[in-house]
Amino acid sequence: MELSIGEMLLIALAIVVLFGPDKLPEIARGLGEGVRKMRGAVDDIKTEIMKEADNPLSEIKKEIDKVKKSAQEFNPLEDKKSVDFQNTVAEKIDLSEDDSHEGPVSR
């Protein structure tokens, strides 16, 4: 909404006629204070919205970083070594030929 110079002068003249020249400084101060409060409230709302909008993104970024770290620390050779070790132990101790071991009894 744009006001021309003529429209602004007409509004100023109407204010002077309605309230008188003695009240103009008081009205101007009140309007200025109201505008400052509104701007402050709008800035506070913007800040809160940005905090709330940024919060889920930061949580997602943290989860992605955890997954990346886990992927970097994962070494598939370690799992293979443990499987090879288990196979070696099973070959050295063959329980299938030993009759002294009966195993668990099911009831």
The CA-based angle 60-56-41, given to 5 degrees, is 155
Q: What is the pTM of this model?
A: 0.40
Give the pLDDT confidence of 50-63 residue by residue, as tens digits. Answer: 877 766 677 788 88
* 93 φ, ψ (degrees, to nearest 5): -110, 95
Single-letter amino acid code for the residue at 75: N
15 CB burial (10 A radius; 0-12, 13-18, 19+): middle
pLDDT tens readout for residues 67-86? 888 888 776 666 555 555 55
